[in-house]
Amino acid sequence: MKTKILVADDHPLVREALIRVFSNQKDMEVVGEAADGEEAIKLASQLKPDVLVMDIMMPKIDGLQASRKIKQMSPSTAILILTAYDDDSYVLGLLEAGAAGYLMKSARGQDLVEAVRSIRAGESVLHPKIIEKLLRRAVTGPVKVEERKIKEPLTAREKEMLRLVAAGMSNKEIAERLCLSLRTVKAHLSNIFNKMNVASRSEALVEALKVGLITLDDIGREDLPENQGF
C-alpha cells in the first residue's frame, strides 16, 4: 500500500515542490495540501494521512500547536516537521508535541523521501543524542493515568524489542540480534505502535518511558542480553 502524505506549508511554490517530490515516488501518494495550521488540522482529521509533512512557521496556528491537536485527533499520523531552526530546546518542544522527527529546510528532496520511508518502517529519523535528551525531559514529571495511551499490553517479545529500540538499534540490527527477518521486525514494530497508539519510534520511546516499560538505563545501552528465545 502507498504511504498517504499530507503536505502543509504556507508558500505555494514550496507546497508544489514537495508534492512533486512525493508524487514521483511509486510508494507514496499525496492526499491533500494545507496552506496554514488550521487547515492542516482540519485535513489531518478528515484524511487521516500516514505522514504529515509540515512547516513549523505557518499562519493562524503554528506547527507546534497544530502537532498537539493533530496527535490528539489522529494519533496514527506521523508528523515530520520542516524547520529552519535546530536549537535543542526548540526541537525538543516539537518532539514533545508529538512530532516523529524533523528535517532542516535545507534538506534535499531525496532526504525527505528517505525520512518518510524510515518513519513508515519504524526507523528513527533523529540523532541518538536528541532522542536521549527527549527521553530525559519526558521523566521530569509524573504521568496522569488518563494521559497513558497504551491500549493493549505488550508481549514479552515486544517489550524486548522496545528495549532494543531504546538502545538505539536499527531494524536490521534488531533482526540480527533476535534472529528474525527484517519483515518480522517491521511487523512487530507496527504492532507495538498500534498498541501504544503512536506513529513513530520517538513517540513509542517517550510513552514507554512514562509508563515504565523502559528506563533511562536502557537508553543507548550496548550490553543488552542476546536473544532469549521467547
pLDDT at 223 over 70: no
Interval 143-147 mean pLDDT:
45
Whether the predicted pLDDT of 102 surpasses 90: no
Average pLDDT for 20-49: 96
Summarize the confidence of residues 14-42 as an average pLDDT: 96
Question: Which pTM does this prediction carry?
Answer: 0.84
**Candidate ranges 25-29, 147-151, 221-225; pick with highest mean pLDDT:** 25-29
- Mean of the per-residue pLDDT values for the chain? 86
pLDDT of 130 strictly over 80: no
Average pLDDT rounded to a whole number, residues 42-54 = 96
Confidence of residue 131 (pLDDT cuts 50, 70, 90): confident
Q: How far apart are CA 18 and CA 178, in angstroms?
A: 38
Q: How far apart are alpha carbons 202 and 74 in whole angstroms?
A: 16
Q: According to the per-residue pLDDT averaged within each range, which of 64-68, 135-139, 212-216 is highest?
A: 64-68
* Domains detected in the chain: 3-120 (3.40.50.2300), 136-218 (3.40.50.2300)
Q: What is the pLDDT of residue 106?
A: 86
For residue 170, is pLDDT > 50? yes
Q: Which residues contact 142 (CB under 8 A, 6 or more apart)?
A: none
